[in-house]
A and B are shown apart, each in its own frame.
Chain A
Amino acid sequence: MAGTLFFSSLMTETNSFSNIPTGYGDFEAEGIKRGNEIFYDADEIAYQEVEPILAFAEERSLKPIGGIAASAAPGAPVQHQDYLQLKEELIGSLQAADKVEAVFLTLHGAMMSTECDDCEGDILKGVRAVVGPMVPVGVVLDPHAHLTDEMIRHADLMAFMKEYPHTDGIERSQEILSLMGRLLDDKIKPIAAVYDCHLMGFFPTQESPMRDFVDRMFWAEQADEILSISFVHGFPWGDMQDAGAKLLVYSDDNPVAGQTLAEKLGRNIWSIKDETMPPLISIEEAIEKTIACEHGPVILSDIADNPGGGAPSDATHILEAIISSSYIEPDLTNIAIGLIYDPEAVKACHKVGPGGYLDLRLGGKISQFSGSPLDLEIDVRAVRKNARMDFMGITDFPMGDTAWVHTRGIDIVLSSVREQMYAPSGFSHIGIDPSQKRALIVKSSNHFRAAFEEISKDIFYVSTAGAIDFDFARLPYKKLNKPFYPAVQDPFSNAL
């Protein structure tokens, strides 16, 4: 009987400071896939993101076996019993598979449960216990991860996506699978080297100096002895001892070369650490830029309320300021904001239907970081059921039932699923043309850039109160013990 290639995926990004509990239901809400449905849709067409896996399997004459594919919106640590249940499904399906010759996983890297700080390490340990030391285990992860010794010990190869926004999942999969092929043929001996940058930061990769750094990683991978390089951005809102930015280099049986390169690139990151984060503007400045806008739209990123980081996506600080200012600023009009997570408001809009009017209490409901709910006179412009947000033709994201409401020149898109605004389709799916707006307020820290830049390059990051605090020195860590910048100016100092 032919050998098998086992694939599973289990992902969520855990924000230790979030109030939004995460349970099994949150994974179900995004749709848990099992077995063959991981690879093929209802029309038996393969999903784009798994094509590299299927291609590799075919090339190696392996039968692809799907275990479980599950993800949940970022929130507080996963309820431990629910984490165990998901892990059991993954490990159980691996145990049930015959003649596993290789294991490929896509994990997140920053998943925590209420009792386990390093779920990826725990999962990889479980996988290794089933397959033994000789079966290659390759993993692709999100760069917003906590790189731990446990992960390094149990995986053969890990690649963390190089791009943020993460547009390179397919390429990283191809890369790891190709390396796994060479490992299966005994052609390489991957050895991991890690450099800890002692740094909490935010590193979008579209602009220099991060763009240059990413190019540098690709260039350095061309060396024969270097198999793979990853810059682990870290996820500052995960409170665990291994949090923080790190460099990971896999060498081909050349630990000195690996360690040297890891340190060199790590120091490189250190030298640009103050230039990677885009400048933040206040709400007042955001309003000024909106008024001054001549050929828009101005795009305002509501970074503190990004559900992609575990925020509620219903904070009202910016919207409230715009509405109050609109009474004295006539040009503060033709603005769109989304996605505001408010399932009950969406239901009310569906009931009255397009053309209906409502006195609606909107937003500010999910947590203490949400600001105050707003009482607005709105008209319902459109409603959609089971809406999906297309992302650049690559994939799409669920928004649940949605509604477009209008008040005082402002268009608001409400969703029933807590999801960040990845793409203009978050507005256009329901009839709003975002390119015609004076300003767009998007509840996303960075993932919106790839698709929204096609509309406008006037992008600003707005600082507000909210669930995701970008002042890393202020974050109330309990478990992170090592010194890090910016809490400490020189965390490498021997005096510490």
Chain B
Amino acid sequence: MRVFVAGLVHESSEFSPIPTSRRSFKLFEYHRPENGVPDDTARELNGYGTFIRLAEKDGHEVYASTYTFAQPSAPCSRSGYESLRNEILEDLLNNEPFDMVFMFLHGSQMADGYDDCEGDLLRRVRDIVGPSTFIGGELDLHTNMTDTMINSANVLIACKEYPHIDFDERAVELYEIGFKFAKGEIDPQMSFERLPLVGMYYTTEPAMQAANSAVRDLEKQTNILSASLIHGFPWANVPHLSAGMLVVRDGQKQSDEEQIKEAQKLFFAAREETRSIRKSCSDILDIIEAADDDHGPFVIADACDNAGGGAGSDSTFILQEILNRGLTGFVVGLFWDPIAVQFAEDVEVGGKLKIRLAGKTGPWAGAPIDVDAKVIAVKKEMTQQGLGYTHPIGTAAAFEIDGNIAVASTVRGQVFNPSCFTDLGIDLQAACGIVVKSSQHFFANFAPIASQVLYCDTPAMMTLDPDPSVFTEVARPMWPFDDVKV
């Protein structure tokens, strides 16, 4: 059989101060195998690589089109999105027919003129391949689902975990369903049950673990091919902003609807969980100040200033509070501040300077901080491992400020890995607190070294208490703006 594979991934936040263009994708992750012939690099890429390997193993002919992904930021420019979309569509058109199409997507991608890029892309793919080709889309659970997406693809599957550690497992499931469809063995039908929620839901917490467990049990039903909890993506003022549950049944056969409703109820019941574990900066610092002297490092997630959600990653609320209180022993990073890094390179390690640090991307960043700093480390071409990817950091510089350490980088990205700090020679075990700009993806690598993990709420972009008056397009009632029952 003939299989087409592509990837176009961007989580678009309308609140992000960082514009997006085609170049944003090319600078971050862009791979386009020559003439569509899969190469070793392509086979290792998240999700997309799995489709290729499985298809090759089954002896299919594979056309590997563009795979590209940009750091979450504002909706892409029109020309940027269209050029990336069109190169995939042209590959499809010029090399058809195909029996199966597998797309690795996000689910809340937007662009200038496009509220629903995945719907736009999937619809056009369907127009090209016709009704009998399998179209499968793998999504991030932070999807804002639309009817166009559901009506254009045969099967959509979202990852189940946040942090997203299961893209490859879900890709295997999607491939197997696709192959069965192509052999005429199944007739997948999708339905999406909307749950009017705006929020974030870590699947490492107990109530969400229960919801996920119920969804896995659902999938054991013979006539349910797949079930995904769709978390939604809060930072988009669009009518289809919502959470929900996506079920893929085999044809019109019977399934246990009660069990499906139970799983939805468990998800709904978990809606406050993530928000409720966040504490104010003041409360967190009180906890740390009151702790015994011989505690290991606290890890504090600066969850609202996460580049992984489109934030500027340069807010100063927590560092400012630490300095105001005269606390020492904190390590804070990664601040996106290329100018500060440039100055650190100029004065070199050991050099002292008065520096204006961070607070530069916009109102969500708070005010810049003016401090006397000493440069304690500078390193070029740094990277970190996280979620199966190698993430670029660019050049990073560590500044000692009043007994604390602040780390700035030239590439905007969240902290996935303690190596961001240890690669600069920073001793994390000796720290009193480690503040990481990440909502959740830091968890896997930091929890083992933390005496306690605390999630901090600040007025940065990804606050879970957004101002309802900003969401003019969103369908109401919507939790948490309104009381909602399910």
Contact = CB atoms under 8 A, between A and B. Distances in A.
A356 B360 CA distance: 20
Interface stretch (A129-137, A366-374, A390-398, A443-451): A366-374
Given A19-B354, A21-B346, A361-B361, 11 more contacts: A76-B353, A79-B351, A348-B19, A350-B21, A351-B20, A352-B19, A358-B19, A361-B17, A361-B363, A368-B356, A373-B359
B24 interface: yes
B411 to A, nearest CB: 12
B338 A365 contact: no
Q: Chain B interface secondary structure, helix, strand, loop or mixed?
A: mixed
A19 B23 contact: no
Interface in A68-90: 76, 79, 81
A214 interface: no
Contact of A353 (B77, B348, B360, B368): B77
Interface in B265-292: none
Interface string A2-30: 00000000000000000111110110000
Given A348-B18, A361-B362, A365-B339, A26 B346 contact: yes
Residue of A19, A25, A372, A373 most packed against chain B (CB within 10 A): A373
Contact of A370 (B356, B361, B362): B356
Interface in B336-368: 338-339, 342-343, 345-348, 351, 353-356, 359-363, 365, 367-368
B370 interface: yes
A353 B233 CA distance: 27
A23 to B, nearest CB: 4
A344 B365 CA distance: 15
Given A348-B18, A361-B365, A365-B368, A21 B353 contact: yes
Given A81-B348, A348-B19, A368 B354 contact: yes
Given A352-B19, A356-B77, A21 B354 contact: no
Given A351-B19, A358-B19, A343 B338 contact: yes
A373 B363 CA distance: 10
Contacts of B368: 364-365, 373
A64 to B, nearest CB: 33
Interface of B: 17-21, 23-24, 77, 79, 338-339, 342-343, 345-348, 351, 353-356, 359-363, 365, 367-368, 370
Contacts of B346: 21-23, 25-26, 79
A359 B19 contact: no
Given A365-B339, A366-B339, A373-B368, A23 B19 contact: no
B354 A367 contact: yes
A350 B19 CA distance: 9
A30 to B, nearest CB: 14
Given A361-B365, A367-B354, A21 B18 contact: no
A41 interface: no
A372 B338 CA distance: 18
Nearest to B370: A368
A365 B338 CA distance: 11
Contacts of B343: 20-21
A79 B77 CA distance: 41
A84 to B, nearest CB: 13
Residue of A20, A344, A348 most packed against chain B (CB within 10 A): A344
Contacts of B361: 344, 361
Contacts of B23: 351
Contact of B356 (A79, A353, A365): A365
Interface string A318-356: 000000000000000000000000011000101111001
Nearest to A26: B346
A44 interface: no
A373 B79 CA distance: 30
Contacts of A367: 354-356, 370
Contacts of B19: 348, 351-352, 356, 358
A375 B353 CA distance: 27
